[in-house]
Amino acid sequence: MNTNKSKAAFKEAIKHIPGGVNSPVRAFNSVGGNPLFIQSAQGSKITDIDNNEYIDYVGSWGPMILGHAHPDVVEALHRTAENGTSYGAPTLMETQMAELICEMMPSIQSVRMVNSGTEATMSALRLARGYTKRDLVIKFEGCYHGHGDSFLIKAGSGALTFGTPNSPGVTKGTAIDTLTAKYNNLDSVLSLLEQYKDQVAAIILEPVTGNMGVIKPTDHFIKGLRKACTDHGTLLIFDEVMTGFRVAKGGAQELWGITPDLTTMGKIIGGGLPVGAYGGKKEIMDMLAPNGPVYQAGTLSGNPMAMAAGLTTLKLLNTTEGFYEELEEKSAFLAAGLQKNLDELNFPGVINRVGAMFTLFFTSEKEVNTFSDVMKCDTERFAKYFRLGLQGGIYSAPSQFEASFVSIAHSTEDLQKTIDKSREALEQLI
Ligand SMILES: *Cc1c(COP(=O)(O)O)cnc(C)c1O
């Protein structure tokens, strides 16, 4: 496989872009080699500038659930662009978008559009603090909520201490307001809530994690969080930027039957354009300006192009008969094939999957349910597997600690080829 043009392009990019990329994971640092520069994408396939075609499981990190360049989305964008691309004034599409989100995720009664998942979580946290008049937030080790300062915090030493910044530029002052608990460990949360009684504004989590690889919440954990939040007057924020409209039409909250107080969204709701949103109980959302005192705004929020792509995508998800059943079938077929490879080759690994997101963990553990399980993975083995995959025409996330995404555009042929190539890669790794 020749990737000379990508190599040359990366050299050029590095001159004027930090690390040559506009988001660090794209640099392939954890798997080695150069990133591929992408020319185009269609359906389940992505093509680099050297004209190599790959079956794509990154899907722009989640948004492309319909596949790339879906004709309805492209048509909506053309139609919208001809009428101007931004007005800074209300449009009918924004109301339609809000209505549809509220219909698909019934815990949401009122919703504000923003421009990224990061903006959604930052704003939801400010709102939670404004509403509860409390400062602290509890997040979980291994969960990712974008790059807002409050979330770039790692656990301090000892289970019950305040966090410390995990990026220079995040102040100690910010870090002391973020507490870190352990995912799938309810006790770690309950003890923080006891220790910081009446001070915790919100608990935020990825209800199904994707950003440390796919991990499901136990019923005990997720139901316990809901109850603990209610008991302590703390808001429960589900960060469904990745899982929303992905693991089910109504997100992880539908699958686990939990009603969060606030939900953050992104990725799929933009249909491939930059969009985020946060919403929840009307009483809480009414604290936002201009109704209430909590300030949040955006020049391009609710942008017509973004609404056109997002609304077209969500409408298709909402109205296509059997969409999520078909997506589940495809995803289950792929996961079963990958599992069969592991079993037949007696290759150590764990596949975690919820709907159309999954991770193959390179580990000799029997299960992966926690951040410390994830940390036991063999990242070097993963990196080799990743590179073999690329050579076989499979484009998946260049990190062990990410999810892969199946779209409705993946054909049985694509999935079978992926299973076969995965087997070849595993055989080479033995
Ligand atoms: C991607 C992601 C974010 C951040 O969204 P951006 O659009 O990249 O800012 C936040 N939370 C979760 C769970 C995500 O997967």
The Å distance, Cα 310 to ligand 1 centre, comes to 16
The Å distance, Cα 273 to ligand 1 centre, comes to 13
Percent of the chain topping pLDDT 70? 98
C-beta of 209 in contact with ligand 1 (< 6 A): no
188 has a pLDDT exceeding 70: yes
3-state SS string for the chain: CCCHHHHHHHHHHHHHCHHHCCCHHHHCCCCCCCCCCEEEEEECEEEECCCCEEEECCHHHCCCCCCECCHHHHHHHHHHHCCCCCCCCCCHHHHHHHHHHHHHCCCCCEEEEECCHHHHHHHHHHHHHHHHCCCEEEEECCCCCCCCHHHCEECCCCCCCCCEECCCCCCHHHHCCEEEECCCCHHHHHHHHHHCCCCEEEEEECCCECECECECCCHHHHHHHHHHHHHHCCEEEEECCCCCCCCCCCHHHHHHCCCCCEEEECHHHHCCCCCEEEEECHHHHCCECCCCCECCCCCCCCCHHHHHHHHHHHHHHHHCCCHHHHHHHHHHHHHHHHHHHHHHHCCCCEEEEECCEEEEECCCCCCCCCHHHHHCCCHHHHHHHHHHHHHCCEECCCCCCCCEECCCCCCHHHHHHHHHHHHHHHHHHC
C-beta of 251 in contact with ligand 1 (< 6 A): no
C-beta of 244 in contact with ligand 1 (< 6 A): no
Atom of ligand 1 at shortest range from CA of 206: 13
How does residue 30 score in pLDDT terms, banded at 50, 70 and 90?
confident
C-beta of 241 in contact with ligand 1 (< 6 A): yes
Ligand 1 pocket test target in 144, 214, 247, 278 with most atoms within 8 Å of CB: 144
Instruction: Find residue 88's DSSP bridge partners.
Output: none
Quote the mean pLDDT of the chain.
96
Atom of ligand 1 at shortest range from CA of 143: 13
Ligand 1 pocket test target in 22, 65, 265, 267 with most atoms within 8 Å of CB: 267
Instruction: Find residue 179's DSSP bridge partners.
Output: 138
Q: Which pLDDT belongs to residue 161?
A: 53
Q: Which pLDDT belongs to residue 158?
A: 53
- Domain ranges in the chain are 4-69+322-429, 71-319
Worst-scoring range by mean pLDDT, 86-95, 171-180, 232-241, 413-422? 171-180
Percent of the chain topping pLDDT 90? 94
| Phi, psi dihedrals of residue 42, rounded to the nearest 5° | -150, 125
- Atom 15 of ligand 1, nearest CA residue: 242
Please, are residues 402 and 359 in contact by the beta-carbon 8 Å criterion? Answer: yes
The Å distance, Cα 82 to ligand 1 centre, comes to 30
C-beta of 239 in contact with ligand 1 (< 6 A): yes
Tens digits of per-residue pLDDT, 63-76?
999 999 999 999 99
Domain covering 71-319, topology? Aspartate Aminotransferase; domain 2 (3.40.640)
160 has a pLDDT exceeding 50: no
The Å distance, Cα 343 to ligand 1 centre, comes to 34
* Residue 255, CA distances (Å) to 5, 79, 358 in order: 44, 36, 16
C-beta of 211 in contact with ligand 1 (< 6 A): yes
Residue 214: how many other CB atoms lie within 10 Å:
26
- Atom 10 of ligand 1, nearest CA residue: 145
- Does residue 267 have an active-site annotation? yes
Q: Which pLDDT belongs to residue 157?
A: 57
In this prediction, residues 236-264 reach a mean pLDDT of 98
Tell me the C-alpha distance between 45 and 110, whole Å. Answer: 36
Of these residues, 139, 267, 330, 421, which one is catalytic?
267
Atom of ligand 1 at shortest range from CA of 274: 7
The Å distance, Cα 62 to ligand 1 centre, comes to 10
- Does residue 144 have an active-site annotation? yes
- Does residue 239 have an active-site annotation? yes
Contacts of residue 168, defined as CB under 8 A and 6 or more positions apart, other chains included, come to: none
How does residue 366 score in pLDDT terms, banded at 50, 70 and 90?
very high
- Atom 5 of ligand 1, nearest CA residue: 117
- Is the pTM higher than 0.95? yes
In this prediction, residues 3-17 reach a mean pLDDT of 97
Q: Which pLDDT belongs to residue 159?
A: 45
Atom of ligand 1 at shortest range from CA of 116: 7
Tens digits of per-residue pLDDT, 277-287?
999 999 999 99
C-beta of 263 in contact with ligand 1 (< 6 A): no
The Å distance, Cα 123 to ligand 1 centre, comes to 13
How does residue 32 score in pLDDT terms, banded at 50, 70 and 90?
confident
C-beta of 266 in contact with ligand 1 (< 6 A): yes
Q: What is the CATH number of domain 4-69+322-429?
A: 3.90.1150.10
Q: Which pLDDT belongs to residue 3?
A: 95
